[in-house]
Amino acid sequence: MRNILVTGGAGYIGSILSFYLLNKNLNVFIIDNLSRGHKKLINKKASFFKLSLKNSKEIRKIVIQKKIDTVIHLAAFIKVDESIKNPSLYLKNNVEGTISLIESVKNTLVKRLIFSSSSSVYGKTKKKISETNKTKPISPYGKSKLQAEKKVIKLCEKYNLNNVILRYFNVVGAQVKKKPYLGQINKTG
Q: Spell out the residues 6+ positions from residue 99 whose beta carbon is closer than 8 angstroms to its own.
A: 151, 155
Rounded distance, CA 30 to CA 7, Å? Answer: 6
Residue 131 vs residues 33, 139, 166, 171: alpha-carbon distances, Å: 31, 19, 10, 18
User: Which of 72, 105, 84, 82 lies closest to 35 in space, CA to CA?
Assistant: 82
Is residue 122 part of the annotated active site? The answer reads: no
Q: At what angle do helices 97-105 and 140-158 cross, to 10 degrees?
A: 20
Rounded distance, CA 189 to CA 187, Å? Answer: 7
Q: Of 12, 90, 122, 141, which one is the catalytic site residue?
A: 141
Q: Which residues are catalytic?
A: 141
